[in-house]
């Protein structure tokens, strides 16, 4: 393979990661901002999808993104997954930085386009969305259920670790079922959101958290470090744990006398 081919292949993977992360953020955060409470200004209106709809939106975007872009890049769309896969020996550490940069760009593009749509929305829609934190992750006063920092830390480590362990299991080359893997991953992310939206608006993805916080104002920006650090810790724990417990160990070399016949 030539250097040109390698560069083109890498560029294609990075574009796929950016597009997949864009889809995840635009679909999930967009649903939270546009459709969770609909019509605008009407809390509890039956037309709104509520947090169950938001959870489904995040899960569905992962399903369609994995089917569309997974065959190109692996379909990480999440720095915690990229680093977790690297820790598990499934992904090259040297490629992690490029993937993470692409994911951050894709996520920021997703929320930027939400802002662009909001500019042409009802009066005060965008200002109210930003005053409300722009569907950012948070704890304390920025937690939907009033949960504190400790709850956010435990939830993000535990749920990200579960997410990465599921991904490692369903994408295993011999134990997994490739055709069904995106569906299993998407359903897992839906379940995670159903559990933790009331706790901290559910991160398990630093790219998603950063993308929302850049438009969420000083409060979410001051807390976003939690949703960068602890999902990554959870992903790394899962990768190392899976590698230690479930990856087949290399067999020792056969004795010399056994190899000579």
Per-residue model confidence (pLDDT) at position 29: 98
* Full DSSP string of 25-82: HHHHHHIIIIISS-STT-TT-TTS-HHHHHHHHHHHHHHHHHHHHHHHH----SHHHH
- Give the C-alpha distances (Å, rounded to integers) separating 42 from 120, 131, 208: 19, 17, 26
User: Mean pLDDT lowest for which of 3-12, 101-110, 203-212?
Assistant: 3-12
CA 39 to chain centre: 28
Query: Is the per-residue pLDDT at 79 higher than 80?
Result: yes
Global confidence as pTM = 0.90
Query: Is the per-residue pLDDT at 40 higher than 80?
Result: no
Q: What is the mean pLDDT of residues 35-52?
A: 77
Q: What is the mean pLDDT of residues 99-118?
A: 98
Options 3.40.50.10790, 1.20.1080.10, 3.40.50.300, 1.10.760.10; CATH for 3-247 is 1.20.1080.10
**Which residues, 6+ apart, have CB-to-CB distance to 6 below 8 Å?**
none
Residue 4's pLDDT band, with cuts at 50, 70 and 90, is very low
Whole-angstrom distance, CA of residue 82 vs CA of residue 191? 21
245: left (phi over 0), alpha (psi -120 to 50) or beta: alpha
The domains of the chain are located at 3-247
Closest CA to 113 of 205, 28, 30: 30
pLDDT higher for 5 or 32? Answer: 32
| Assigned token pair, 134 | 């722009």
| Assigned token pair, 73 | 């890049």
């Amino acid at each position: 393979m030539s250097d040109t081919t390698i560069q083109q292949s890498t560029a294609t993977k990075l574009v796929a990661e950016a597009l997949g992360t864009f889809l995840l953020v635009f679909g999930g955060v967009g649903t939270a901002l546009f459709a969770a409470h609909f019509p605008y200004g009407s809390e509890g209106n039956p037309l709104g999808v509520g947090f169950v709809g938001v959870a489904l939106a995040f899960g569905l975007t992962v399903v369609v993104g994995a089917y569309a872009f997974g065959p190109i890049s692996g379909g990480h769309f999440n720095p915690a997954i990229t680093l977790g896969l690297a820790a598990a020996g499934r992904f090259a550490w040297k490629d992690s930085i490029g993937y993470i940069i692409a994911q951050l760009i894709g996520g920021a593009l997703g929320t930027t386009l939400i802002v662009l749509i909001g500019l042409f929305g009802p009066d005060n829609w965008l200002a109210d969305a930003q005053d409300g934190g722009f569907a950012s992750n948070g704890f304390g006063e920025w937690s939907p259920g009033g949960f504190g920092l400790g709850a956010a830390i435990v939830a993000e480590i535990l749920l990200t670790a579960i997410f990465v362990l599921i991904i490692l299991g369903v994408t295993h080359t011999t134990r997994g079922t490739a055709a069904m893997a995106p569906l299993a991953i998407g359903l897992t992310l839906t379940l995670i959101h159903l559990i933790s939206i009331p706790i901290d608006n559910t991160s398990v993805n630093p790219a998603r958290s950063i993308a929302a916080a850049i438009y969420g104002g000083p409060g979410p920006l001051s807390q976003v470090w939690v949703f960068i650090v602890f999902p990554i810790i959870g992903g790394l724990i899962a990768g190392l744990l899976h590698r230690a417990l479930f990856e087949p160990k290399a067999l020792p070399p056969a004795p010399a006398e056994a190899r000579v016949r």
